[in-house]
Amino acid sequence: MTAQTTSASTAAGERESRHAPLILTLFGLYARDEHNWLSVASVIGLMADLGVESKAVRSSISRMKRREVLRGERRAGVAGYALADTTLQTLAEGDVRIFQRARASREDGWVVAVFSVPESEREKRHELRTVLTRLGFGTAASGVWIAPGNLAAETRRSLERRALTEYVDLFTGDHFAFGDLREKVRAWWDLDELTELYADFLHRFGPVLDEAEGRRPRPLDAFRIYVPMLTQWRRLPYRDPGLPLELLPKDWKGEAAGELFERLDTLLSPAAAAHAADVVGGRH
């Protein structure tokens, strides 16, 4: 394989990796209301409305199928895809994070996960770290992860569901001593990166809200705004576990970004869903 071929293949893979989150958002929003299924034609049509060509969509879906995010399924002779059971569970967990935005208080204390995984089971170590990262845990030390105490029950359920309990111990309690807890939080979580992500969200979608409130967008326009907006937003609640505000920098951008998301969700979601329903129902 030549360097030029390798470069082209890498570029194609990067494009497909950008499309996959949009496809997952579409399935999360609209497939679950359609008995967890969307036809290939519906996905291609919806992605075309987002400016993505059918060839790229088919390639991304194939990758998602190989990764067992989606599974192929024909209904009434029509080719389509459904969300895998594990993906459905992940999306259900994510709904709470994305749309409810729980904020911890100092009184909630902390939940600490201490784990050790044998070298022979490195895939379990990777899975465990992935689960804790998705829950919003920060890293206090090697093999010691921490999150606000209000996530304790969710953490236990997630670890039990994935059969990871034999590798980890969970503790709850308060930070007793020593040092400035605000500085500890900054070390355990990358707050600078989070600030940049929130600032980018505000910069990109703040003007969109002003325009949408001035003139309600038609369904297609709402769809073209809403799906990318939700796709960009939905990773943020996993990176930010809802730390107590008094432990965060002043003028924490996460609050403003969360309020912007809620207003856009309220304003755009119904019209976007109406457009998606027309495409899925073959009326578009």
pLDDT category, 12, cuts 50, 70, 90?
very low
229-246 pLDDT, tens digit each: 999 999 898 888 899 999
Average the pLDDT over 207-227 and give the result. Answer: 91
Does the pLDDT value for residue 92 go beyond 90? Answer: no
Average the pLDDT over 251-273 and give the result. Answer: 94
How confident is the prediction for the chain on average, in pLDDT? Answer: 89
Euclidean distance between CA atoms 53 and 264, whole angstroms: 27
Domain ranges of the chain: 3-87, 110-173, 188-280
Question: Looking at residue 15, what is its pLDDT?
Answer: 52
Of the candidate CATH numbers 1.10.10.10, 3.30.70.360, 3.40.50.720, 1.10.3720.10, the domain formed by 3-87 belongs to 1.10.10.10
Q: Which H or E run includes 262?
A: helix 253-280
Q: How far is CA 174 from the centre of its chain?
A: 29
Does the pLDDT value for residue 14 go beyond 60? Answer: no
For residue 205, whether the previous peptide bond is cis, meaning omega lies within 30 degrees of 0, is: no
Average the pLDDT over 160-182 and give the result. Answer: 91
- Is 110-173 the same fold as 3-87? no
Of the candidate CATH numbers 3.50.50.60, 2.20.25.10, 3.30.70.240, 1.10.8.100, the domain formed by 110-173 belongs to 3.30.70.240
**What 8-state DSSP symbol labels residue 169?**
E
Q: Which residues contact 76 (CB under 8 A, 6 or more apart)?
A: none
pLDDT category, 74, cuts 50, 70, 90?
very high
114-163 pLDDT, tens digit each: 998 888 888 888 999 988 998 889 999 988 999 999 999 989 998 998 88
35: left (phi over 0), alpha (psi -120 to 50) or beta: left
Does the pLDDT value for residue 99 go beyond 50? Answer: yes
